[in-house]
Structure 1
Amino acid sequence: MGITRVLRIANSVFRRKLIQLCSKGQVSFSSNVLVDNGVVIRCTDGGKVHIGSGVFLGRNVMIVSRGAAIHIGDRTHVSHGTTVVAKSSISIGDDGLIGEYVTIRDQDHAISKGRISHQEFAIKPVVIESNVWLGAKVTVLRGSKIESGVVVGANSLVKGRLASGAVYAGIPAKRVKVLSPD
């Protein structure tokens, strides 16, 4: 048995384990995707996940699509402990860096009178364009749009639009520096 056959068998077994909670066709991988231990990709209610070519998914990354579309662009690095959860859509562009323990969600609970456990969800798509760096423990909330060439400092909270070519930090994230063009 040649090494190519062994790798094909291992890849087949690995993919079944990785996406065991998804139906056939709900998760698509492009070429050269690297996946570390403990990665979970879960699709429910017809949700779909696409992982672009050259993507790295670090240890214990969790991606959950609940009737939503999640797209991770080519050559994006998703560090360990990151959580991506969608009920509408989350799009992450090419050539991104996502630090450790980042959380990206397109939904949260609506707040009104009555029992908290029976509240509806407030849902708005999230767009993270290409060439974006999210530092460790950044939280990206529903309805956020992070334009290309943005750096977000560690422990920041993103809600709304972050314009391209700048560094943002804080709670909520505010522009702290304009990046010089190349």
Structure 2
Amino acid sequence: MTVPQRVLDVMHSPGIYFCDDPEMEAAQKEQLNLLYDFNATRPGDPKRREIGERLFAEYGEGVYLEPPVHANWGCSTHFGAHSYANFNLTLVDDGEIFIGEYTMIGPNVTLVTTGHPIRPDLRERVAQFSEPIHIGRNVWIGANVTVLPGVTIGDNAVIGACSLVTKDVPANSVAVGAPARVIREINEHDREYYWRDRRIPDDI
């Protein structure tokens, strides 16, 4: 089955909703079965792309995801062309996640679109809300980063390892920390040096 539009509309709309809908539960179970099949494929198996195109909202040309991938749904996540994620990418994708072309995601990264009300009685009723995450083109997200609901990360930005991204990060900047803060813009030094004092070879 494909995920019913009514279910997607509920999850992708602003505001509180409840996760005790039988139609939602059945659709999610089907998505999780697809995810299981995706993770069970061997390297180079063409079925991985076939399953990925069914599982995710968008699975662009040249996308490579290193299994295992963990996702609440899959159908709310858009992978732009030539994007890459190392192992243990976790997608709490009840809300939509947009990942731009050529973006690189390190291991053990978690992208969280969903939260729950502080009020205890609403949590008992499985209430939640979801806000989309937008990750631009050619972004590099380091290992063990967590991105929270509603965050936008601009094109070419770099997020340092182990950062907790709670607010938007502008394009062409480097952000690190918990919570993540912009520490500098990408600059001319980065054109010459790839890491610390190590110069990029002239023939590259």
TM-score (norm 2): 0.63
Q: Deviations over 1:6-50 (max 9, x none)?
A: xxxxxxxxxxxxx7725xxxx9xxxxx967xx9xx89xxxx8532
Give the Å deviation of 1:159: 1.6
Superposition map of 1:152-171 within 5 A: 152-171=159-178
Give the Å deviation of 1:59: 2.4
**Could you say if the C-alpha distance between residues 97 and 34 of structure 1 is closer, same or farther in structure 2, counting changes exceeding 3 Å?**
farther
1:65 alignment partner, SS class: coil
Superposition map of 1:1-182 within 5 A: 21-22=33-34, 48-65=56-73, 69-114=76-121, 116-180=123-187
1:162 alignment partner, SS class: coil
Give the Å deviation of 1:110: 1.6
TM-score (norm 1): 0.70
**Separation in 2, partners of 1:102, 1:135:** 8
Q: Which runs of 5+ in 2 are unaligned?
A: 1-30, 192-204
Q: For residue 114 of structure 2, what is the amino acid of its counterpart?
A: Q
* Greater share of helix: 2
RMSD, aligned CA: 2.8
* Greater share of strand: 1
**Could you say if the C-alpha distance between residues 104 and 88 of structure 1 is closer, same or farther in structure 2, counting changes exceeding 3 Å?**
same
Deviation >3 Å, runs of 4+: none
2:62 alignment partner, SS class: coil
**Could you say if the C-alpha distance between residues 120 and 34 of structure 1 is closer, same or farther in structure 2, counting changes exceeding 3 Å?**
farther
How many correspondences in the alignment?
A: 146
**Separation in 2, partners of 1:110, 1:123:** 11
Q: Which has the higher contact order (CA 8 A, sep 6+)?
A: 2
